Amino acid sequence: MIALSLAEIAEIVGGDLRPAAGHDPASIVTGVVDTDSRQMAAGGIFVAKPGEHTDGHRFVGAALENGAVLAIVERPVDDEISQIVVADVIDAIAELARAVVARVRAAGDLRIVGVTGSNGKTTTKNFLARILQDEGETVAPIASYNNEVGAPLTMLRITDGTRYLVCEFGASAPGEIARLAGLVNPDVVIELMVGLAHAGGFGGIEETARAKAELIEAAAPGGTAILNLDDARVAGMAPLAERRGLRIVGFGQGSAADVRAAGIDVTASGTSCTVHVDDQALPLRLQVLGAHHVNNALAAIAATRALGVAPADAIARLETVPLAERWRMQPMGGSEVRIINDAYNASPDSMAAALRTLAQITGPGERTVAVLGAMSELGETAGDEHDRIGLLAVRLNIQRIVVVGAEARRLFLAAVGEGSWDGEAVHLPDADAAFEYLQGELRPGDRVLVKSSNSAGLRFLGDRLGESFS
């Protein structure tokens, strides 16, 4: 974080400063800001966030031992650490992030990119960070730090020398993107796609589209909107972007796109295509698996082009990215049994894309095995969407469909109803039972996809299988 005094921080967050013995309100703090006491280092600021299962106030002492010099709390604690008492620590770090970003922006050349979409945010964020880090100091979210806690913590990692800040904005209800993006008003905003992820929280896909469009509303005046023209709901955001005075850059696979992909080819070793931009035809060879990642790459190329990076340079950097993120189309296992662990999260769109990738990368003499768990937060559409994925798996000729958990049972029943019987589809109660089954079922030549929402926990099953068959 940038250098601020205890008194300045207290004023920004509207809190009551209670300096520890020997601490002056003018003392300067520059350390990391985090809600995890284990991540503290010398000079850190610990945010004592109350949670469902524990309370951060219990860990102020641990944060102090690990080097924290300040705690932002909702009630005073007895530990020998300076404290700022606020009504709500989440609101406090949001206001602190707003102020820090504004100061760095006013004093330097900070440019901010904001990314949203039902799928692909984290991969695109990582692509952006890889491209921009060669241009100057770049701060981007760790993992999927895209909510009311993670987004401000990412913003607070900037320094006076930061040139680029990449923000990922997720949401499970209307108004969340507006609040978070409004803290920084990005110069470039990326709209990836509108799908059914978190549809239960929004009340439907049209409401989801309106929520995603909040990022365009929050863009800085004179900024750029990067829109996926392959998605009708995203393309429909163009009039809003025009009203906001934003420059519009389209990406996708259609002829109207400013940054366009053609000739997409997916193999077990990566994904290739030709990128058409600025009257150039540039080959792109991603190490990342899956045709669905091509649009993520196009979005990153388009956004960084708006920031002055030549597309050829962006492509060269993208080709060095070995993995989208842990548990996202992550190759594991060995030469005989290959595992793709894509179980960090799942929506109907990402589940379908992963299944298609599994079918595309499996060659003659090899067998497709899909280990599938529940897709969460789909609301009243959950049953129909699990049915649809079960049907798709059969129609893609996935040869073994292993469904895990009671919440995914509809997927299994749909697969059986579509013709996956005689042991081709099985339903197992939990990850342990699935691991035991797969230990005896998998054989050389199998390509195995593990896919579910985070809550189903199958990412750890994928890890176990990857280690077992390495």
In a domain, 323, yes or no: no
116 and 177 both lie in a single domain: yes
In a domain, 349, yes or no: yes
Mean pLDDT for each 10-residue chunk of the chain (470 residues)? 96 96 90 94 94 89 95 92 97 98 94 95 96 98 88 96 96 91 98 76 80 97 97 98 98 97 94 97 96 96 98 98 87 93 91 96 94 91 94 96 96 90 89 96 96 92 95
425 vs 389: CA distance, rounded Å: 13
Half-sphere exposure of 234 (CA within 13 A, CB side): 27
123 known member of a binding site: yes
187 and 279 both lie in a single domain: yes
What's the CATH code of the domain at 196? 3.40.1190.10
In a domain, 117, yes or no: yes
Own/partner long-range contacts of 138-144 (Cβ < 8 Å, ≥24 apart): 138/162, 138/163, 138/164, 138/165, 138/166, 139/164, 139/165, 139/166, 140/165, 140/166, 140/168, 141/166, 141/167, 141/168, 143/325, 143/326, 144/168, 144/170, 144/325, 144/344, 144/345
Going by C-alpha positions, the residue among 144, 296, 114, 300 that lies closest to residue 217 is 114
284 and 298 both lie in a single domain: yes
Here the tokens at position 161 are 């020398």
How many domains does one find in the chain?
3
The DSSP bridge pattern shows strands 259-267 and 270-277 to be: antiparallel
What's the CATH code of the domain at 383? 3.90.190.20
264 vs 262: CA distance, rounded Å: 6
451 known member of a binding site: no
195 vs 347: CA distance, rounded Å: 8
The DSSP bridge pattern shows strands 247-252 and 33-34 to be: unpaired
In a domain, 325, yes or no: no
Structural domain containing residue 364: 330-468
397 known member of a binding site: no
pLDDT of residue 51: 81
* Residues ≥6 apart with Cβ < 8 Å to 51: none
214 vs 117: CA distance, rounded Å: 11
Inter-CA distances, 202 with 207, 210, 287, Å? 6, 9, 34
Which of 276, 296, 318 is at the close of a domain?
Answer: 318
In a domain, 324, yes or no: no
161 vs 57: CA distance, rounded Å: 32
pLDDT of residue 212: 96
pLDDT of residue 317: 98
pLDDT of residue 53: 80
What's the CATH code of the domain at 65? 3.40.1390.10
67 and 140 both lie in a single domain: no
98 and 81 both lie in a single domain: no
Which of 270, 286, 318 is at the close of a domain?
Answer: 318
259 and 295 both lie in a single domain: yes
Q: Please give the helix or strand (H or E) that residue 304 lies within, else none.
A: helix 292-306
In a domain, 345, yes or no: yes
What is the DSSP code (8-state) at residue 92?
A: H
182 vs 253: CA distance, rounded Å: 31
pLDDT of residue 198: 55
122 known member of a binding site: yes
Q: Please give the helix or strand (H or E) that residue 251 lies within, else none.
A: strand 247-252
Q: Are 143 and 168 in contact (CB under 8 A)?
A: no
- Region of 374 please: left (phi>0), alpha (psi -120 to 50) or beta: beta
239 and 139 both lie in a single domain: yes
pLDDT of residue 78: 80
206 and 307 both lie in a single domain: yes
φ/ψ of residue 400, rounded to 5: -135, 125
454 and 431 both lie in a single domain: yes
Model's pTM, two decimal places?
0.90
Which of 25, 60, 87 is at the close of a domain?
Answer: 87
pLDDT of residue 203: 63
- Region of 220 please: left (phi>0), alpha (psi -120 to 50) or beta: beta
* Residues ≥6 apart with Cβ < 8 Å to 106: none
326 vs 344: CA distance, rounded Å: 8
119 known member of a binding site: yes
In a domain, 217, yes or no: yes
118 known member of a binding site: yes
393 and 429 both lie in a single domain: yes
310 and 356 both lie in a single domain: no
Q: Are 329 and 354 in contact (CB under 8 A)?
A: yes
427 and 305 both lie in a single domain: no
Strand partners, 371: 402, 450
CA angle 236, 242, 245 (to 5 degrees): 150
